[in-house]
Structure 1
Amino acid sequence: MTLDAQAAYPRLGMYIGGQWITSADRSHRVVNPATGETLGELPLASAANLDEALHGAERGFRQWRATPVAERALVLHEAARLLRARVDHIAAIATLEEGKTIAETRIETMACAGLFDFYAEEAKRTYGRVLVRPAGTRSLVVHEPVGPVAAFAPWNFPVHNPGRKLGAPIAAGCSVILKPAEETPASAMAVVQALIDAGCPTDVVQLVFGVPDEVSRHLLASPIIRKVSFTGSTAVGKHLIRLAADTVKRTTMELGGHAPVVIFDDCDLERTVETLAIGKSRNAGQVCVSPTRFYVQDAIHDRFVAAFTQRYCGLKVGNGLHADTQMGPLANSRRISAMAEIVGDAEVQGARVLGGGARNDGPGNFWQPTVLADVPLTARVMNDEPFGPIAAIARFRTLDEAVDQANRLPFGLAAFAFTENARQANLIADALESGMVGINTTGLAAADAPFGGVKQSGHGAEDGPEGLMACLVTKTIHQV
């Protein structure tokens, strides 16, 4: 893949009321994080645009909820087929605007297609119950679509995040107003276009961009919106929960994490190092479930640190469109300054920088894979999610000590442990306060498995049957 893909970057726009809107009074400049070059100008929604999207979603819901589930499934299956057919083009667009490697964006696009296929079939299994009642009477429990959904997706998975926000509600019979990140608009446009081309009715999906707080306040104040789905930081999630409370909207919140990794002295060291180096480098660490706080048992600490530093810091960093790149740039320039502040604070607190710790020379938002050792708990990196390619390592002695350190923060999205002892694996999996736990793996996302956190990492789940149920309300019908 070469930079020729930049020539195929589309004209940017919003999809409202069945029309693409490619100009507005305000716009946002979209930048290639690998080069600093401008990719395009994104129109931003006005209040009138948002009102039009709301009215469209209201119309779309009335139509779509009455559409047989088999027809909804056909649309999702066809959209999945189109995503697979267009994978090279969509992956190139996603890499251009977000930065991750082309191999990652291909996987991401295929995962989005897989999610659409899963929900196409899962929608057919929205079963209710018939309660036991006297002869001649009936009591039914049924599930119905919740209504129009306002969905907010971040930039770090520019194809899969929009797919998550669209797949379950469309399968359930809801309409959706999707507001993805302004940094990565063309990827979301491609997902929406696949649904349109697959026959999704005009008003079922609306795609808007804008000043985030303006858009969220406007949409959440409307009684048309019945559910809010958000993926992003805990601070913004709390703000949206407060807005949603005014009209008692249902919410699904997938918020920030700070994933601990507990590495026991009986782990398969070579496999553990390889798994974590690859997992930590994914999307340059800009992943809500990225392994970040490494707790390594004393007996293997020094060996793990040496092997991991050599493997992780030896990764080739470069433009994600180049086939030999193993880690791309950070998505925007503000992440570079954030990394510098985090590393600087750790050094002041007494941590050792064993590799990386600086940005690469030249254009683009490239930060070196960084390993920090002997990091005290007071360091910022051990308390605030770095959301970048920084691995912070500390020691532990006993299982109880590791559990205490892993659970001490108010976050609980993802956690990992590496051990070859089955009993120890069971104990640590039960003890970790997290919505998702990986034992000897960093892979946590699957179409049929719920994805979500606990504590201040949010509530509710996306993916799996649980993601579909989050878009449904329960009704009990008694008939005599």
Structure 2
Amino acid sequence: MSAPAYEQPYLLINGERVGRDGRDGLPVRNPSTGEVLAELPVATPSDLDRAIELAGGAFRTWSAVPPVERGKVLKRAAELMRERIESIATAITLDEGKPLFEARWEVSWTADVVDWQAEEARRSYGRVLPVSTKGRALVVKEPVGPVAAFTPWNLPAFLPARKIATALAAGCTCIIKPAEETPLGALKIAECFLDAGIPRAALAVVFGEPSMISTHLINSPVIRKISFTGSTRVGTHLAELSARHVKRMTMELGGHAPTVIFDDVDLDKVVAEAAAYKFMNAGQICIAPTRFYVHESVHDKFVKNISEAARSLVVGDGMDSATQMGPLANSRRMDAMERLIDDATRQGADLIVGGSRTGNHGYFWQPTVLANVPESAAIMNEEPFGPVIVTSPFVDEDDVIARSNRLGYGLAAFAFSGASDRANRLGSAIEAGMVGVNTFAATMPEAPFGGVKDSGYGLEGGTEGIDAYLTTKFIHQL
């Protein structure tokens, strides 16, 4: 099966496609084959300075555009994403490896989120305060300024689009650095915004050496807001840089979602949903269920059934219509899977299915189930970010809540129980920014998305998401 032709990636500055032209390059690899698809141009300091200057100038004009008109432009961008779904989805699959049907779903979901932010543009309400004297007292919301955004490779269209759309809806301009491993999906999404009618200088897409780019952008006095999605380690570093300049920051960091399953549920239904959500994108989703705490009376049955589901998955090239799970995104994830699974089995975990690489090319890993995993195992303490389910039995409700909350992570969590009083207790007691109770659907465009503890701060999505891109001003006029 021959892959579709891959378009040459570029930097996008002032609406112009900027190629290598003497710049350094980084290889973009197809994770299904390991082959180099293209060379990605690396932004120079002068490229970044140009993008910053343009963003500062465009902010003055874009922020003055009425919110209703900004929303109309974003609505058109969402329409273009739907019209271009095949082109964008193909780019995502070639870049990141996920099956084409998942890539199409990502683009569709992305367009829905852009639609939501388009509507939020007109809902940035202030208020009028009553005063005892003549005059007026107003609380108004204003765009914070040019934004620097950073996104990882696992959702290469959705994550950049959510940050771009929210910034633009608020009246901000945006310079975004998506992941170098997956450039083309983000570029195609950015061009939807530009083709919809935002000013060319209002959005730039840059790639290169991450530390250099983040330091350069954050150090600029023009940039007033930072938005980052990625690991807790990198997020902590960027937060330190931002703090030196007292810049507002939204951080969506790592997770290690506990999934508590009691013995009063429809186990077959939970298993089917768990397999679907866990192995989506080969487990490379920050809110994927990871630590499965299953009541001891149904633990073995859960392990047996989820193992059968894992064993039945068709793993292959994302461009193949028969594929149900694609490869891992890069060789680093392969090494991490090997290290974590080896450590768990050395500590006494039972390897039920999978546990190793598969195929003789690309970054394919078998869907894996590890049972009876001790809390001391690295995989119970580090986000695995791969297609591996880890289980541990429990008896006591208070104990399983304590085990769910014991890590520094607090992004997403899931709990399943047929008893409504217990379900209510679990939803309240588990420490996470998002909790799915009797469902793995823990996010939607209308809902806030964000974590607690080491999983970051600030929110994206929902009515709360746009507020991070706005400042609140009080005006008292006599």
- Name the TM-score, length of structure 2 as normaliser: 0.99
1:324 matched residue in structure 2? 322
Q: Does residue 344 of structure 2 align to residue 346 of structure 1?
A: yes
Q: Is the 8 A contact 2:97 2:326 kept in 1?
A: yes
Q: Does residue 300 of structure 2 align to residue 280 of structure 1?
A: no
- Counterpart CA distance in 1 for 2:291 and 2:417 is 17
Q: Does residue 378 of structure 2 align to residue 370 of structure 1?
A: no
- Return the offset for 1:3: 4.0
Following superposition of structure 1 onto structure 2, how do residues 176-191 of structure 1 map, counting pairs within 5 Å? 176-191=174-189
Following superposition of structure 1 onto structure 2, how do residues 285-324 of structure 1 map, counting pairs within 5 Å? 285-324=283-322
Secondary structure of 1:203's counterpart equals helix
Q: Does residue 22 of structure 2 align to residue 20 of structure 1?
A: no
1:202 matched residue in structure 2? 200
Percent of aligned pairs sharing the same letter:
50
1:58 matched residue in structure 2? 56
Residue 426 of structure 1 aligns to which amino acid in structure 2? N
Which stretches of structure 1, 4 residues or more, deviate above 2 A after TM superposition? none
List runs of 5+ in structure 1 lacking aligned partners: none
- Return the offset for 1:136: 2.6
Q: Is the 8 A contact 1:175 1:205 kept in 2?
A: yes
Deviations 1:455-477 (A, max 9, x none): 00000011111111111000000
Q: Is the 8 A contact 1:3 1:321 kept in 2?
A: no
Secondary structure of 2:264's counterpart equals coil
Q: Does residue 78 of structure 2 align to residue 75 of structure 1?
A: no
Q: Does residue 130 of structure 2 align to residue 150 of structure 1?
A: no
- Return the offset for 1:135: 5.2
- Return the offset for 1:299: 1.0
- Counterpart CA distance in 2 for 1:224 and 1:470 is 17
Following superposition of structure 1 onto structure 2, how do residues 12-161 of structure 1 map, counting pairs within 5 Å? 12-23=9-20, 24-134=22-132, 136-161=134-159
- Counterpart CA distance in 2 for 1:179 and 1:16 is 12
Q: Is the 8 A contact 2:447 2:462 kept in 1?
A: yes
- Counterpart CA distance in 2 for 1:440 and 1:319 is 32
Secondary structure of 1:410's counterpart equals coil
1:401 matched residue in structure 2? 399
Deviations 1:61-99 (A, max 9, x none): 111001111221111011100000010111011001100
Secondary structure of 1:334's counterpart equals helix
Secondary structure of 2:415's counterpart equals strand
1:430 matched residue in structure 2? 428
1:192 corresponds to which of 190, 195, 218: 190
Q: Is the 8 A contact 1:153 1:231 kept in 2?
A: yes
1:448 matched residue in structure 2? 446
Secondary structure of 2:279's counterpart equals helix
2:379 corresponds to which of 356, 378, 381: 381
Following superposition of structure 1 onto structure 2, how do residues 1-16 of structure 1 map, counting pairs within 5 Å? 3-4=2-3, 6-7=4-5, 9-16=6-13
- Counterpart CA distance in 1 for 2:112 and 2:370 is 37
- Counterpart CA distance in 2 for 1:122 and 1:97 is 31
Secondary structure of 1:262's counterpart equals strand
- Counterpart CA distance in 1 for 2:450 and 2:366 is 29
Secondary structure of 2:131's counterpart equals coil
List runs of 5+ in structure 2 lacking aligned partners: none
Deviations 1:284-308 (A, max 9, x none): 0111011110100011111111111
Deviations 1:133-159 (A, max 9, x none): 125321000000010000001000001
- Return the offset for 1:17: 2.5
2:227 matched residue in structure 1? 229
- Counterpart CA distance in 1 for 2:113 and 2:359 is 39
What number of residue pairs does the alignment pair up? 477
- Counterpart CA distance in 2 for 1:3 and 1:320 is 12
Q: Is the 8 A contact 2:15 2:194 kept in 1?
A: no
Q: Is the 8 A contact 2:229 2:253 kept in 1?
A: yes
Secondary structure of 2:352's counterpart equals strand
Deviations 1:387-408 (A, max 9, x none): 1011111011011011010000
Residue 97 of structure 2 aligns to which amino acid in structure 1? G
- Return the offset for 1:19: 1.6
Deviations 1:397-450 (A, max 9, x none): 011011010000000000001111111110000000000001122122211111
2:257 corresponds to which of 249, 256, 259: 259
Q: 1:3 to 1:158 in 2, by over 3 A?
A: farther
Secondary structure of 1:324's counterpart equals coil
- Counterpart CA distance in 2 for 1:54 and 1:413 is 32
Q: Is the 8 A contact 1:257 1:414 kept in 2?
A: yes
- Return the offset for 1:123: 0.9
What's the C-alpha RMSD, in Å, of the aligned pairs? 0.9
Deviations 1:113-141 (A, max 9, x none): 11111111111111111001125321000
Moved more, 224-233 or 114-123: 114-123
Q: Is the 8 A contact 1:268 1:419 kept in 2?
A: no
Residue 172 of structure 1 aligns to which amino acid in structure 2? A
- Counterpart CA distance in 2 for 1:111 and 1:436 is 18
Deviations 1:344-383 (A, max 9, x none): 0001101110000001021110000111011111100000
